[in-house]
Amino acid sequence: MKSEGFEPAEELIEQIMHEYSKRPSGWHVLNTLDGDMIVIGPESAFQLRLIPLSPFQFTGVGTEIPRDLDAISSLGHRVTFGLRPLEEADLRAIVDAVDQQTRSPEVLSQVLQRRPIPLTDIRKHKHILSGPVLTRPDLTSSDSVLRRLRDDLDREARRLFSEKYPQRAGMFF
């Protein structure tokens, strides 16, 4: 089912999760509300186009992209993505901060500075904070390579969706 170097998003996300588990520090995740996603890891980067099937399912395609693109370095942000354990006291402090409408609760800053854990350690903890995921209106405006790739990914994602879900595709495209 691979076409033009694209892979089904489900397979690519499995690969990304495997790489994250081996080295959970140094990741950035950016997305748009339209289904574009860029995942930047310490050793690799990926661009995906996702089509939601339900709140918990998706289909789509993606591909690995060069980490040395100028736009990739400008897309990152200081706080890295990760799965970080939360204690009961952290949850209480976060809820208290929200109830008091505190603008930047110090507890979140402290949690985000914790070292992310691999997926294999997730069951050892009762509560996990996932993120941050930076949402932007457009991930490709600063780079023509990313924009062209997004357009190609969109066409391939729609083709895959139509192939996998022909009766649903008629309602959307």
Assess whether 75 and 141 both reside in one domain. Answer: yes
Residue of 13, 3, 1, 4 whose CA lies nearest to 50: 13
Same domain, residue pair 2 and 71? yes
**Residue 77 and residue 13 in one domain:** yes
- pLDDT (tens digit, 9 = 90+) per residue, 42-65? 999 999 999 998 888 999 999 999
Domain match, 136 and 64 both: yes
Amino acid identity at 170: G
Same domain, 74 and 124: no
Residues 115 and 141 in one domain: no
Spatial strand order of the sheet with 7-8 comes to 7-8, 57-65, 45-54, 36-40, 28-31, 133-135
Question: Does residue 120 sit in the same domain as residue 173?
Answer: no
103, 123: one domain: yes
**Are 165 and 92 in the same domain?**
no
Which segment of 69-78, 80-89, 146-155, 158-167 scores lowest on mean pLDDT? Answer: 69-78
18 plus 44 within the same structural domain? yes
Whole-prediction pTM value? Answer: 0.85
Residues 102 and 90 in one domain: yes
Query: What is the model's pLDDT at position 1?
Result: 39
> pLDDT category, 167, cuts 50, 70, 90?
confident
Model confidence at 138, pLDDT cuts 50, 70, 90, reads confident
Domain region containing 11? 1-81+132-173
Query: Is residue 65 within 8 Å of residue 47, measured between CB atoms?
Result: yes
Number of domains in the chain: 2
